[in-house]
Chain A
Amino acid sequence: KNQVEQSPQSLIILEGKNCTLQCNYTVSPFSNLRWYKQDTGRGPVSLTIMTFSENTKSNGRYTATLDADTKQSSLHITASQLSDSASYICVVSADTDKLIFGTGTRLQVFP
């Protein structure tokens, strides 16, 4: 069964600190993996997208990694800001229109 699991479910950090979010997937065939940021009540916004051959991709303070052998991905946020408070969703594409969504990590950044 195609599944995407994320950990932790929720995370609280202080402004300026770094954090890492985890994503494990069992999706076959694998096309690509994306990290989205979703503010409450808003649509998801893409942060990074990685294909099988890519193992690191950065977008400003966001760095995503992908290990296709272990089927794991991580999203590292550097020097967190209050505006980083959101849900972060790992989404895996199985080479079709259907995206397999993880349940997300709810990040809260406090001053």
Chain B
Amino acid sequence: DTEVTQTPKHLVMGMTNKKSLKCEQHMGHRAMYWYKQKAKKPPELMFVYSYEKLSINESVPSRFSPECPNSSLLNLHLHALQPEDSALYLCASSPVSGDEQFFGPGTRLTVL
């Protein structure tokens, strides 16, 4: 398996909902990343996990809560989001921190 998968592909949620985004890879990579991408803008790094430990948090609001239950899985828990949080959320992985990153297809999130 040589790809990063993300579910769901699309998500629509209200501002009071709690939802989670899921990312999975079975390439044995030990670094995983969450990015947020607004339309016509480059991806912005949110979080980095290295060996299942959070190594970088780019001052992301607490309504976004990452979790890395094991080396293959990365979740992003969402709570009390704002409409401006609507974006494409990309997950990526790399063999180790600093190596080439492989991106998943993304989850298109719409907050109403």
Contact = CB atoms under 8 A, between A and B. Distances in A.
Nearest to A40: B39
A83 interface: no
A93 interface: yes
A49 to B, nearest CB: 6
Chain B contact-residue range equals 20 to 34
Interface stretch (B11-19, B68-76, B104-112): B104-112
Interface string A48-91: 01000000000000000000000000000000000000000100
B41 A103 contact: yes
B31 A101 contact: no
B105 A42 contact: yes
Contact of B42 (A89, A93, A95, A106): A89
B45 A99 contact: yes
A43 interface: yes
B96 to A, nearest CB: 10
Max count, chain B CB within 10 A of own CB: residue among A41, A44, A101: A44
| Main SS class of interface, B | strand
Interface of B: 4, 6, 31, 33, 40-43, 45, 48, 50, 55-56, 88, 90, 92, 97-98, 100-106, 108
A44 B108 contact: no
A97 B48 contact: yes
A28 interface: no
Nearest to B44: A101
A104 B101 CA distance: 18
B98 A93 contact: yes
A98 interface: yes
A101 B43 contact: yes
B98 A46 contact: no
A43 B106 contact: yes
